[in-house]
Amino acid sequence: MDLAGKVVEFIDLGTNSVRAAVVRLNPNFSFTILSLQKQVVRLGEKEYLTQELIPEAMERAVLVCKHFVTMGRSYGAEEFIAVCTSATREAGNQVEFLERLKAETGLEFKIISGLEEARLIYLGVSNSVDLGGKRATFIDVGGGSTEVIVGDQKNYQMLDSLNLGAIRLTTLFVPPEETGPIFPERYSLMKKSVRNKIVRTVQRVKKHGAEMAVASSGSAINLAQIAAKNFGGEASTLTLSKLKRTVALLSTKNLEERRRVPGINPERADIIIGGAAILETLMEELNVPEVRVSEGGLLDGMIVDYLSRIEGFPSYQSMGVRERSVLQLARSFGTDEVHAETIRRISLELFDTAKVEGIHTLGKDERELLGHAAYLHDIGDFISFADHQAHSYYIIRNAELLGFNQHEINVMANLAKFHRKKAAGKRSDELDEPSLAVLQQLSVFLKLAESLDRSHCGLIQHARFVYADKDKALLEILASGDCQLEVWGAESHAKGFRKVFHRELSLRVRTVGPMD
């Protein structure tokens, strides 16, 4: 079935908010996010006291969902995937609510179980974070439930869903009319309640021996942002000690004062301490000193799950996070994938053989960044061939590539920028001196590789350093045809090679068969 150009909307109706993503499927098995929306509706307001959704909360949720469906149709969406989670699945009046949703939006919203919610969250987060080959504990503190998963990059080993959430815990311990500080005694009671409910889950997690932890959802993200803003560091991680300091900061303030704390999302001010109590207790009981924070979640998992069922996408989805992220970006901008793969192959062969000959001492991390940058180096052609390296820089720099930190993105963006021109001086907001030195070395390999496929004909079968001493280096080129243009291009980089590696570069060309 030809799905090229098909537009699909995904809607996650949660306890605290509604999220929606409108996605277009592309002919090259990539996808484009056309719109990403979120609106707080507090569907679970007061539910955990009455076991029913209150009319005002249902009204807010229906109104937002109706708006999101209209938005999807304006983009040409022809399929809608809509799910409900904790608040709806536990509500005594869920049938009434679902019928109203269908009547006003035209969609069948499906209630998913806690374990299915955990599975989708795992897909969303594991496809957004590079775990570096480690097994991780995933913690997602939602409004009504908390999902705990153990898994690696490819598979989960344990799924669990707890009746714990930021809204649920706050409802049970902080009456709506109370807007003052949360004193230590009450916070301790909240944590005790959490501790009693997670005993079995903690035991199960410990049996799997996870090596790291990842926290997702709005509560964890916002707590990390508050901690970074007030106590320093990056919001991409949250230590237990900083979480405790953040709780101490928030708990001493009344609701209005909490809304003004630097870094806080004011819409979360009333439930953020409840979310913190859950995350803090889990970290303590699991002996987790630090969590990485991910913006991936259920909605992302819904998209991954949908794509994995389409022929052509499964192998694409089985890649590592970073490789998949690079390929998705390249395909989104119509990159010549044959040329991109050729440049990556030649760049890495140059890197590897140069290391064997003692020309450089860089490691596997720098090698990986070179390979990714080589694949993306021409992505700016989408905008204009003229000065396309500058466009490549801008696209990579602002693409929010999943699995990479900002420093790594900066290195790749600058590599793409300088693959045609001389590397400029240090940009103080991007690269320090050691990183600039790495950039200069890697850019030599990328420039040589680009010159060795100038014609985009794939004439160069191999390009490898076969000898080097302290004064000179010999690069052997194996070609399947006349490659004089490629050789001239490579020779033009001899001066740059000498400046960076302090050796004279000489070339030796051999003609070989296409399979040699």
Three-class SS of residue 475? Answer: strand
Query: Residues of the chain with pLDDT > 70: what percent?
Result: 94
CA distance 85 to 377: 42
Contacts for 148-156: CB closer than 8 Å, 24+ residues apart: 148/118, 148/198, 148/201, 148/205, 148/282, 149/118, 149/119, 149/121, 149/122, 150/204, 150/205, 150/208, 150/210, 151/122, 151/126, 152/126, 153/126, 153/320, 153/321, 154/126, 154/318, 156/119, 156/122, 156/126
pLDDT tens, position by position, 258-269: 999 999 999 999
Q: Where are the domains of the chain?
A: 7-112, 115-298, 319-511
CATH topology of domain 319-511: Hypothetical protein af1432 (1.10.3210)
Q: Same topology for domains 7-112 and 115-298, yes or no? A: yes
Q: Identify the CA nearest to 105 among candidates 82, 126, 124, 135.
A: 82
CA distance 511 to 463: 12
For range 472-481, the mean pLDDT: 91
pTM metric for this prediction: 0.79
pLDDT band at 244 (very low <50, low <70, confident <90, very high): very high
Superfamily the domain 7-112 falls into: ATPase, nucleotide binding domain (3.30.420.40)
pLDDT band at 398 (very low <50, low <70, confident <90, very high): confident
CATH topology of domain 115-298: Nucleotidyltransferase; domain 5 (3.30.420)
pLDDT tens, position by position, 189-240: 999 999 999 999 999 999 999 999 999 999 999 999 999 999 999 999 999 9
Q: Is the pLDDT of residue 427 over 50?
A: no
Identify the pLDDT of residue 426: 43
- Torsions phi, psi for 8 (to 5 deg): -125, 140
pLDDT band at 256 (very low <50, low <70, confident <90, very high): very high
Q: Is the pLDDT of residue 78 over 50?
A: yes
**Residue 131's Cα: distance from chain center in Å?**
11
Q: Is the pLDDT of residue 424 over 80?
A: no
pLDDT band at 428 (very low <50, low <70, confident <90, very high): very low
Do the beta carbons of residue 40 and residue 16 sit within 8 Å?
Answer: yes
What is the token pair recorded at 150? 């153990």
**Residue 83's Cα: distance from chain center in Å?**
22
Q: Is the pLDDT of residue 503 over 90?
A: yes
Q: Identify the CA nearest to 101 among candidates 67, 74, 61, 47.
A: 61
Q: Is the pLDDT of residue 83 over 60?
A: yes
pLDDT tens, position by position, 295-316: 999 999 999 999 888 876 655 5
Tokens 């991954």 -> residue: 304
pLDDT tens, position by position, 341-396: 999 999 999 999 999 999 999 999 999 999 999 999 889 876 766 566 788 888 99
